Amino acid sequence: MQLQDHGALLERITGLLQDAVVREAVHADYTRTIEQLGVEGAQARFLAENTLRRLETSGWDIRRTEADIFENFGIISARNKYIGATTLVGSFDNALQRRAKAFSGQIMMQMMDLKGGTIANISPHHEKLEASKSSFQITEADEAEQLSGSFSVAVLNNVLHHEAPERADEILRSVSLKTDKRLVVLENTTVGRTPAEQEQDRAVQFMHEYLFHRLLQDPATHDTPLPGNYDTAEGWAERIENHGWRLSLRDSLPMEPHHTVLVFEKD
């Protein structure tokens, strides 16, 4: 995974928040996300606004700002319906665990027609697959280049949009050479009826991921890059088919940000 250019990150954030329409949409997204994590509405709105203002006035040291926001989130009380009273960060950690299980279930559904085989699960965020059949042998990897040998199925679990387009193509080439039958891709997907709507969705999607990866997780141990390599479901399918795959199934996951499962077979 590529390293994050923090100067470029700060420039992108401040640029996006200068657009009043985008800022309003991001504020609504942050408020909704914080509410879903168990913080009461008025406080959630205040936290969303305070977070955006701190980012807008961050100066040059965005890493310090991220650490301060994370520390503040760590003392905010929340009530999670699964684990009860906790903090905002504690509620988010629980949400991450539940999300990983949900993604694993959605991915394994795409292999129910297979009797068994070897599966390579590439997930830079360590979201492991739980085998639905004992006949599946799963190899976990953070990077495609860590894999050796060949596999019946490869899974790219929220991988490509965290890389620059050129690096995403390298990953697809590497995986395609090592996979015999099927490729399952779970990705963020851009939505919108017009180019303008899609552009706004990409902006809000980027800021949502920024909250998810760099503010609600400890910046001392997480420095997740956000190049914003987003695409529509159709765009992802076309890019992946260029590597010798044929799209056989597409399934939408109505979550924030919007995700799509794309299943490909070897031509």
Fold of 110-189+231-266: Rossmann fold (3.40.50)
- pLDDT tens digits for range 79-104: 998 999 999 999 999 999 998 888 88
Q: What HEC string does the chain produce?
A: CCCCCHHHHHHHHHHHHCCHHHHHHHHHHHHHHHHHCCCCHHHHHHHHHHHHHHHHCCCCCHHHHHHHHHHHHCCCEEEECCCEEEEHHHHHHHHHHHHHHHHHHHHHHCCCCCCCEEEEEECCCCCCCCCCCCCEEEEEECCHHHCCCCEEEEEEECCHHHCCHHHHHHHHHHHHHHEEEEEEEEEECCCCCCHHHHHHHHHHHHHHHHHHHHHCCCCCCCCCCCCCCCCCHHHHHHHHHCCCEEEEEEEEECCCCCEEEEEEEEC
* Mean per-residue pLDDT, 139-143: 90
Q: Band of the pLDDT at 1, cuts 50, 70, 90?
A: low
CA–CA gap between residue 9 and residue 72 (Å, rounded): 21
**Share above pLDDT 90 across residues of the chain, in percent, rounded to a whole number:** 70
Average pLDDT value for residue range 35-60: 95
Check pLDDT > 90 for residue 258.
no
The predicted structure's pLDDT at residue 252:
86
Q: For the chain, give every residue range classified as CATH 3.40.50.150.
A: 110-189+231-266
Asked whether the beta carbons of 30 and 48 are under 8 A apart, the reply is yes
The pTM of the whole model exceeds 0.85: yes
Q: How confident is the model at residue 142 (pLDDT cuts 50, 70, 90)?
A: confident
Under a CB-based contact definition with an 8 Å cutoff, are residues 120 and 153 in contact?
A: yes
Q: What pLDDT, on a 0 to 100 scale, did the predictor assign at position 28?
A: 98
